[in-house]
Amino acid sequence: MGSDSSNNQESLGQTVLDDIRKTSIKRRFWQELTDLYDFYLDEEKRTELADYGRIRRAFMVLGWLLKGLLFKLSPARRLALLAALLFTVAAQTSLTLFERRISADLRPAGFIVLLVILMLELKDKLLAKDEIQVAREVQLALLPNSHPKIPGWQIWSYSRPANDVGGDLVDYLELGGFRHGVILGDVAGKGLGAALLTAKLQATLSALITDAASLDELGARLNTILVRDGIDNRFATAFYAEIEHDSDDIRYLNAGHNPAYVIREGRLETLGASAMPLGMMPGTQYREESVRICKGELLIIYSDGLTEAEDEDGQDFGNDKLEAMLPDLRGLTAEQAGRKVLRAVDRFLADQRPGDDLSLVILVRT
């Protein structure tokens, strides 16, 4: 028993020392404060603060943060927090009982109540984290676990959620007639809600793809189902492509997604969107497009988590940086090209936490 307690103390002490040694701890703490500010204060309040002086702004921020915290707590915990704050402010109090004056310091009681509230909130977070971990395992099981081997083509893909679960979809579909489908979808938002809609998009696409006479029809049917069964302000952009064994021709549908790039010798070609995102408006018409990709040329499809990745100064990675490096990808394998793009984005982010899900698909005509 004593040995276990000692080991736990040593483990905690070592953990704290490791935390202190981390060179980025100051930056990470500042990032946490920034996240706290963004979470509790809406855009309207942040705009209003810009008109105040520094001292008044500090008091206003503290007041709004406290108010925001109180409103997000359950009623019982809200009352407990108010009591703890009252105990802290009251500090020293006295009362007369049976003609005897009794003095008491209420600050320890306030500290204990705050500690209990913190433990309860942590318990809820850990329980929710366990459930999200299960959701993450399910989502990983739905993603392809290998890249298809297609004569005349190399395919490589990658997906990284900003949180434990994400709203990006990368999937391969084996079709008849030596054809394969590749999709990269991006559901608006991130987290569990986006992940659930991503799973619906994946299942719906798999159910419809074999019966769709054209990609025009496929887009229209996907849109109808997502509009009917979707949630307000939740929609999905998608780039779907079909390739054939040893063929240069690709059929594709870009439903409100970022423009894909074809990397040719000496130039780039963009494959822009031909219609609105899926699930945004009923009755949207979609248009099938085609492109020819010759040997040695590449097609790169990506989610906006790549181009909208922000550094510590709030600057986007952007399409300009991506386009500047794309010509250097010629001559590389699909995986080498993809890894090179990811390294460039990670160097740009440095220690910044990604703000959005990032996915990437590379196709190389061999």
Task: Give residue-wise pLDDT tens across range 177-217.
Answer: 899 999 999 998 777 778 888 888 999 999 999 888 899 99
- Is a pLDDT exceeding 50 seen at residue 6? no
% of the chain at pLDDT higher than 70: 90
Query: How many angstroms separate the CA atoms of 214 and 211, rounded?
Result: 9
So what's the pLDDT on residue 341?
A: 96
Q: What is the dihedral of CA 241, 244, 249, 253, to 10 degrees?
A: -20
pLDDT band at 9 (very low <50, low <70, confident <90, very high): very low
User: Looking at residues 353-360, what average pLDDT do you find?
Assistant: 88
Q: Which of 7-16, 58-67, 144-153, 291-300 has the lowest mean pLDDT?
A: 7-16
Alpha-carbon 186 to chain mean position: 10
User: Looking at residues 71-84, what average pLDDT do you find?
Assistant: 90
- Is a pLDDT exceeding 90 seen at residue 222? yes
Domain layout of the chain by residue ranges: 75-142, 147-365
Task: Give the global pTM.
Answer: 0.72
Identity of residue 246? D
pLDDT band at 5 (very low <50, low <70, confident <90, very high): very low
Q: Give pLDDT tens digits for 300-325.
A: 999 999 999 988 888 999 999 999 99
User: Looking at residues 133-153, what average pLDDT do you find?
Assistant: 83
- Per-residue b or e along 16-36, where b marks 16 or more CB atoms closer than 10 Å to that residue's CB: eeeeeeeeeeeeeeeeeeeee
% of the chain at pLDDT higher than 90: 48
- Is a pLDDT exceeding 90 seen at residue 61? no
So what's the pLDDT on residue 141?
A: 74
Q: Tell me the two tokens of residue 332.
A: 């590389």
- Is a pLDDT exceeding 60 seen at residue 4? no
Please, what is the Cα angle at 308 between 285 and 41, to 5 degrees? 100
- Is a pLDDT exceeding 80 seen at residue 33? no
Q: Which of 2-16, 47-61, 88-102 has the lowest mean pLDDT?
A: 2-16
Q: Name the architecture of domain 147-365.
A: 4-Layer Sandwich (3.60)
User: Looking at residues 260-289, what average pLDDT do you find?
Assistant: 94
pLDDT band at 20 (very low <50, low <70, confident <90, very high): low
- Is a pLDDT exceeding 80 seen at residue 149? yes
Half-sphere CA count of 116, side-chain side, radius 13 A:
14
